[in-house]
Structure 1
């Protein structure tokens, strides 16, 4: 066999950093050795994998096709090493959108490490758009996202039902109304998530499209920041019910009923269509289902191992 795992490892590192020096540093090797390995890989098959643009290396179409296969093979090799070392699961890179990451994925990751203390897991939290990019780019093994995403290389599996909720502070004028019609909602100042998030996409598709005169006062990237701004009386918000459960229970925020809008959605597991799912990823996904009760065919949030 001409190709080696080390060559693929160096290729993948260069692809992610788009720079030989950064890849060499990440792999604890010299820049010249990393550069030579890449040149040799391309020479062996007479097949360039990158476009050279100044000091940057950008994957060409061949390189983009190779990257998920390289990650798949490297992950399998890591799993073999773990098996030979005593059944240790291979390293796992998980991405989660902000709502899922802040209120579910961190707890699942903690339980994963409790059950498999010798394993390694990396959890990256960002908005839906970024997580999808990283799954498609093979930077992540699996993604936990809000709402659907369309990409030919993306494989989605339904996980958990969710819904967005409109809410306000206890001292807000709408707190005692219980329900708000369109005319009332148009008059409000809104504090919402940034564009690119699954929450904002559903908000725009359902509420903003129905109320074109809607006044958006603030766009924030973090759910907790939105909750604090609404608590202080700056306006009304719209977030996942999952992120608001504790605030509703404490009474620090109040739900505003909006039956005129269908704000239901789903959380999904996302992975690259061309990559085989690893034992580590399978174990993590099973833990996600266990945490939320979906392993038993329900869609209610039960969190059996989370206090």
Structure 2
């Protein structure tokens, strides 16, 4: 074999970091050893994988075409190593989840996963939909759990479970006394919403089609709990997933508003790169998520 797994590790690490020094640090190598490994790989096959732009190494077209195969080979090698160690029906797994899912659903899934595979390594990163999608596309995350509508040729998108947004306010807000809320009421309200790029904001914008230019968006926040606290402080009304609001509605600290004629339903998704090698850990996580959705 004219290449080594170490050479592939260096290639993939540089593709992630776009910098030789950071890639070497990631692999606990010296910079000169990492540089030599890359040069050997390129010279052995008479190709160039990166364009050198100052200190930055950017994948060229050849590198972009080969990267998914290198990622898959390394994933298979790690999976094989775990099998040799005899405790990895499910090996290391990096999962990304959007904020509502990460804070309210993913922790329960993690607990079930770790109960089934107590020796497996599991990492959860929480960010908005745009960030999770970018990291799955960049092979930094094995699986993404997202809220936003998505269509990308490089991603496999699996329907996971249904969800619904709810418009809400403080119990003392004038709208809280109304049986239903009209479009005029929505126009006159001050809104506290998630930021653009989040799945929740995407679903809200779709539900408010035709009204968006007339709405007063007073505050945009990146965190669900911050929005709930702002509404509790009577700074405006909000719109979030029912997943995040059920406890507050039951306590009476927030009041759900009925908005007839507006569709707040949405779908939650599992995403994985089409060229990602499906290790035992990835398959175990996907099966767990789909089993959980059937039980909802």
Q: Normalising by the residue count of structure 2, what TM-score does the alignment of the two structures yield? A: 0.96
- TM-fit CA distance, 1:116: 1.6
Structure 1 runs of 4+ with >4 Å offset: none
- TM-fit CA distance, 1:211: 4.1
Post-superposition Cα deviations, 1:283-304, rounded to whole Å, max 9, x if no partner, equal 1122223334x2x5xxx3xxxx
Q: Distance in 2 between matches of 1:133 and 1:62?
A: 20
Hey, what does 1:54 align to over in structure 2?
54
Map 1:192-211 to 2 at 5 A: 192-207=193-208, 209-211=210-212
Aligned-residue CA RMSD (Å): 1.4
Post-superposition Cα deviations, 1:109-161, rounded to whole Å, max 9, x if no partner, equal 23322332221112111111111111111111110011321211011000000
- TM-fit CA distance, 1:208: 5.3
Hey, what does 2:243 align to over in structure 1?
242
Kept after mapping to 2: 8 A contact 1:166/1:256: yes
Q: Normalising by the residue count of structure 1, what TM-score does the alignment of the two structures yield? A: 0.92
Hey, what does 2:227 align to over in structure 1?
226
Hey, what does 1:156 align to over in structure 2?
157
Hey, what does 1:37 align to over in structure 2?
37
- Are residues 227 and 50 of structure 1, via their aligned partners in 2, closer, same or farther at CA, if it must alter by over 3 Å? same
Hey, what does 1:24 align to over in structure 2?
24
Kept after mapping to 2: 8 A contact 1:208/1:214: no
Hey, what does 1:304 align to over in structure 2?
none
Matched, 1:265 2:283: no
- TM-fit CA distance, 1:64: 1.8
Aligned residue-pair number: 295
Kept after mapping to 1: 8 A contact 2:97/2:124: yes
The answer to which of 31-40 and 66-75 deviates more is 66-75
Kept after mapping to 2: 8 A contact 1:67/1:138: no
3-state secondary structure, aligned to 2:118:
coil
Kept after mapping to 1: 8 A contact 2:205/2:212: no
Kept after mapping to 1: 8 A contact 2:75/2:277: no
Kept after mapping to 1: 8 A contact 2:87/2:119: no
Hey, what does 2:170 align to over in structure 1?
169
Q: Which runs of 5+ in 1 are unaligned?
A: 301-307
Kept after mapping to 1: 8 A contact 2:181/2:259: yes
Q: Distance in 2 between matches of 1:275 and 1:92?
A: 13
Kept after mapping to 2: 8 A contact 1:189/1:236: yes
Hey, what does 1:83 align to over in structure 2?
83
Hey, what does 1:274 align to over in structure 2?
275
Q: Distance in 1 between matches of 2:66 and 2:257?
A: 50
Q: Distance in 2 between matches of 1:121 and 1:63?
A: 29
Q: Distance in 2 between matches of 1:197 and 1:65?
A: 30
Kept after mapping to 1: 8 A contact 2:148/2:198: no
Kept after mapping to 2: 8 A contact 1:194/1:221: yes
